[in-house]
């Protein structure tokens, strides 16, 4: 009897140990599968950066490709796949190692990596999640290119090709259908298609593009609802990090809402997670992830768990460094290669079973390099006084030009018998332009505020558009500072309107003259604002106020002593300030687009970097600045030459 009583706890304990070991084994297997899938994706994506036409173009990248192809094979052996399919997969992976060794074409590497990846997913039933958060804006672009014809512009299944299709295209606005579908299932459909339907497999899309499209499709049903983008973005920022990307990717809305809470706040969290992607400071947190994994790697290694240490060291690179690799390369390509080498050194000493002190040394070296990377990603912005000077100069230029033109129009009209009739139209025109300019400022502020994951692109595009306008305005100012052509131009325009008694035309001319200046002011000040530190934004406001005060003083002097105002000198000074701003902004604009991954990054032998002047150590940004400066100098020279000929 006593034996029976004692045996019950022992029996329960054995069962508990048995099932615990199964859980640990399953968890380790899942971790290995995830690592293999991510490594295969990484290999196929980065191999073209290591090998081109059978030749190594980057030794560090190629060494990484060799390391990862071997690691994929070793990790797959540990998964313990079914014998028949497992042998086929391992055979393909061995071929992959040989292809990398022989510097095969990128297409062969990509095709075989893709084949093996899907064989592993099919064999294990593993639910895949993206390594980095998908880009909804790119998803929208892909949807427009590939899906609109059948599914319609809003996803209602009513595209131009939908009629006659059996079964009909899915309606992505159907709540009951889409609430039960996970992004992973949408991703599978994109990659594999649906047999027996018009839904083909989009094999030409990369994994990243397939995830971008899947996440966008999942957001469509929420777009028919009323959306407060600003508050939703705040909710996303609060929820980011609390809900794992794997949950967001692999759970349906019905499953995810159970984790978030089925109340109104839970619904808002769900909508935010389906709508937004991390950006700015949130995306920099991946470096914190890298640090955490490196610390865990050393802790595991010190405790004798070499396999777990190896996994954590690999995760530190794939989940911590790789997501911000593009931004780092845009800042300093040479440094980025050094960081990648440091991370590889950590993996190698763990793999080789070196003593703990050597592993700790390599990890600390990698951690200090990550600290440098974090500082590098925090771009220096324009300082307070430079922002003040540029904002005041721009506003002075725009405001003074608007005032001078309106003053000239009024002076011309007062000399005519139609002055009483025309003056109210002139005043209505410029007052309306100012009001619309103020409204435009708040609208542009709101658009930039909700730009979310596309902030780098938004910054880049605003800067480049500003550069184009600045280049034109700077040349116009320089040209007109030599003569009274601008006065002749306005006299001609106003005279034509008065002659035909076109009072609405006068109002429109008055409106356009001032609104053009207001629009340019908004564009330039927003471009300056995006490059100014958040704590120094007041410099722009004070710069604008200082410009208004100076314009008021100059207006008073002009009205009293119109012949003594140095219009020529003011216009010439403004043209040089605008040239400086254009050169700064084109450098920053190209850099922002490089950070977003829309433009290639070519490093330089040296690493000149002056953030506030828009100077970065990439060939593309420096060439763009030199070309712009050369064009402006040539235009100014031609303008001077032409005016000298006219004078003579």
Nearest CA among 131, 135, 153 for reference residue 144: 153
Cα Rg of the chain (Å, integer): 32
pLDDT tens digits, 544-585 = 899 888 888 877 777 666 545 555 665 566 667 667 767 877
Q: Give Cβ neighbours of residue 571 (< 8 Å, ≥ 6 apart).
A: 477, 478, 480, 481
Give the position of tokens 């409106």.
511
pLDDT at 4 over 50: no
pLDDT at 133 over 60: yes
What's the CA gap between 617 and 604, in Å, rounded?
6
Res 73: pLDDT: 92
Nearest CA among 306, 425, 303 for reference residue 354: 306
Could you report how far apart the first and last alpha carbons of the chain are, in Å? 125
DSSP character string of 449-516: HT-GGGHHHHHHHHHHHHHHHHHHHHHHHHHHTTSSHHHHHHHHHHHHHHHTT-HHHHHHHHHHHHHH
Please answer whether residues 457 and 593 qualify as being in contact, where contact means their C-beta atoms are separated by less than 8 angstroms.
yes
Most confident of 51-55, 391-395, 633-637: 51-55
Helix/strand/coil for 125: coil
Return the domain boundaries, the chain: 2-124, 136-277, 283-377, 384-647
Average pLDDT (606-617) is 72
Report residue 261's pLDDT band, with 50, 70 and 90 as the boundaries. Answer: confident
The secondary structure of residue 155, as a DSSP letter, is: S
Res 595: pLDDT: 64
- In b/e form, how buried is each residue of 440-466, taking b as 16+ CB within 10 angstroms? beeebeeeeeebbbbbbbbbbebbbeb
Most confident of 162-176, 370-384, 421-435, 497-511: 162-176
Indicate left, alpha or beta for 170 from its phi (over 0: left) and psi (-120 to 50: alpha). beta
Query: With the C-alpha atoms ordered 613, 616, 621, 626, is the resulting torsion angle positive or negative?
Result: positive
What's the CA gap between 304 and 193, in Å, rounded?
46
pLDDT at 489 over 60: no
Nearest CA among 90, 68, 69, 67 for reference residue 78: 90
| H or E segment and range at residue 56 | strand 55-56
What's the CA gap between 313 and 351, in Å, rounded?
10
Average pLDDT (282-292) is 70
Q: Which CATH architecture has domain 283-377?
A: Up-down Bundle (1.20)
Average pLDDT (184-197) is 83
Average pLDDT (576-601) is 74
pTM of the shown model: 0.48
**What is the maximal distance between C-alpha atoms in the chain?**
125
Token code pair at residue 463 = 């800067």
Please answer whether residues 99 and 108 qualify as being in contact, where contact means their C-beta atoms are separated by less than 8 angstroms.
yes
The more confidently predicted of residues 58 and 150 is 150
- In b/e form, how buried is each residue of 297-313, taking b as 16+ CB within 10 angstroms? bbebbeeeeeebbbbbb
pLDDT at 38 over 70: yes
Helix/strand/coil for 520: helix
Average pLDDT (471-486) is 52
The more confidently predicted of residues 58 and 596 is 58
Average pLDDT (241-270) is 87
Output the average pLDDT for the chain. Answer: 77
pLDDT tens digits, 413-467 = 766 666 677 778 888 888 888 888 788 777 766 655 544 444 555 556 656 665 6
Give the position of tokens 């459909």.
189
Task: Decide: residue 232, CB within 10 A, 0-12 exposed, 13-18 middle, 19+ buried.
Answer: buried
Res 572: pLDDT: 65
pLDDT tens digits, 346-382 = 998 998 889 999 999 999 999 999 888 887 776 556 6
pLDDT at 476 over 70: no
Cis-peptide, bond into residue 24, ω within 30° of zero: no
Is CATH 1.20.1250 the right assignment for the domain spanning 384-647?
A: yes
Average pLDDT (122-151) is 83
Report residue 412's pLDDT band, with 50, 70 and 90 as the boundaries. Answer: low
pLDDT at 491 over 80: no
What's the CA gap between 352 and 310, in Å, rounded?
11
Q: How far is CA 496 from CA 83, 422, 491, 499, 509, in A?
A: 89, 13, 8, 5, 11
Report residue 66's pLDDT band, with 50, 70 and 90 as the boundaries. Answer: very high
Tell me the angle at which helices 229-239 and 264-275 cross, rounded to the nearest 10 degrees.
Answer: 90
Q: What percent of the chain has pLDDT over 70?
A: 72
What's the CA gap between 629 and 127, in Å, rounded?
53
Report residue 198's pLDDT band, with 50, 70 and 90 as the boundaries. Answer: confident
The more confidently predicted of residues 609 and 384 is 384
Res 450: pLDDT: 44
| H or E segment and range at residue 159 | none
């Amino acid at each position: 009897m006593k034996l029976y009583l004692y045996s019950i706890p022992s029996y329960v304990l054995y069962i508990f140990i048995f099932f615990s070991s199964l859980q640990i084994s399953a968890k380790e297997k899942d971790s290995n599968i995830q690592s293999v899938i991510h490594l295969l994706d990484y290999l196929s994506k980065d191999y073209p950066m290591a090998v081109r036409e059978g030749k190594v173009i980057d030794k560090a990248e190629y060494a990484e490709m060799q390391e990862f192809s071997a690691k994929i094979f070793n990790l797959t052996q540990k998964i313990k796949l079914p014998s028949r399919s497992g042998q086929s997969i391992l055979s393909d992976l061995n071929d992959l190692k040989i292809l990398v060794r022989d510097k095969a074409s990128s297409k062969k590497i990509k095709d075989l990596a893709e084949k093996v990846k899907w064989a592993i997913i099919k064999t294990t039933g593993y639910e895949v999640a993206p390594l980095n958060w998908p880009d909804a804006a790119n998803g929208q672009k892909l949807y427009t290119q590939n899906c609109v014809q059948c599914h319609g512009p809003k996803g209602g299944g009513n595209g131009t090709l939908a009629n006659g299709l059996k079964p009909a295209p899915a309606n992505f606005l159907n709540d009951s259908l889409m609430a039960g579908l996970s992004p992973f299932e949408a991703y599978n459909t994109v990659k594999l298609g649906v047999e027996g339907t018009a839904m083909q497999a989009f094999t030409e899309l990369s994994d990243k593009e397939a995830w971008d499209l899947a996440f966008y499709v999942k957001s469509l049903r929420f777009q028919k609802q009323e959306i407060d983008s600003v508050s939703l973005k705040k909710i996303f920022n609060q929820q980011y990090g609390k809900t794992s990307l794997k949950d967001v990717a692999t759970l349906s809305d019905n499953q995810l809402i159970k984790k978030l809470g089925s109340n109104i706040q839970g619904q808002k969290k769900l909508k935010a997670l389906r709508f937004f992607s991390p950006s700015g400071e949130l995306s920099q947190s991946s470096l914190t992830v890298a640090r955490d994994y490196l610390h865990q790697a050393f802790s595991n290694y010190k405790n004798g768990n070499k396999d777990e240490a190896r996994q954590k060291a690999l995760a530190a690179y794939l989940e911590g460094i790789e997501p911000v690799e593009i931004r780092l390369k845009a800042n300093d390509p040479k440094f980025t290669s050094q960081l990648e080498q440091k991370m590889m050194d950590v993996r190698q000493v763990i793999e080789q079973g070196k003593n703990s002190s050597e592993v700790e040394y390599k990890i600390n070296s990698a951690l200090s390099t990550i600290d440098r990377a974090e500082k590098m990603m925090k771009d220096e912005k324009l300082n307070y006084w430079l922002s003040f000077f540029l904002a005041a100069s721009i506003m002075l230029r725009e405001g003074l030009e608007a005032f001078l033109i309106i003053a000239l129009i009024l002076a011309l009209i007062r000399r005519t018998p139609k002055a009483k009739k025309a003056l109210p139209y002139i005043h209505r025109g410029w007052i309306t332009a100012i009001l619309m300019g103020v409204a435009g400022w708040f609208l542009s502020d709101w658009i930039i505020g909700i730009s979310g994951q596309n902030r780098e692109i938004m910054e880049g595009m605003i800067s480049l558009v500003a550069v184009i306008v600045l280049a034109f305005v700077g040349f116009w100012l320089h040209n007109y500072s030599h003569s009274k052509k601008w006065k002749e131009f306005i006299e001609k325009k106003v005279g034509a309107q008065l002659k035909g008694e076109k009072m609405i035309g006068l109002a429109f001319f008055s409106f356009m003259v001032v609104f053009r200046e207001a629009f340019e002011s908004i564009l330039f000040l927003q471009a300056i604002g995006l490059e100014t530190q958040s704590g120094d934004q007041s410099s722009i406001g004070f710069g604008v106020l200082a410009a208004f005060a100076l314009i008021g003083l100059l207006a008073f002097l002009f009205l009293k002593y119109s012949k003594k105002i140095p219009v020529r000198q003011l216009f010439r000074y403004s043209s040089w300030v605008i040239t400086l701003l254009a050169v700064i902004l084109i450098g920053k604009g190209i850099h922002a687009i490089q950070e977003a991954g829309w433009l290639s990054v070519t490093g330089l032998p040296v690493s000149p970097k002056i953030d506030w002047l828009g100077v970065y150590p990439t060939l593309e940004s420096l060439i763009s600045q030199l070309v712009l400066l050369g064009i402006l100098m040539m235009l100014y020279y031609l303008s001077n030459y032409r005016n000298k000929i006219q004078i003579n």
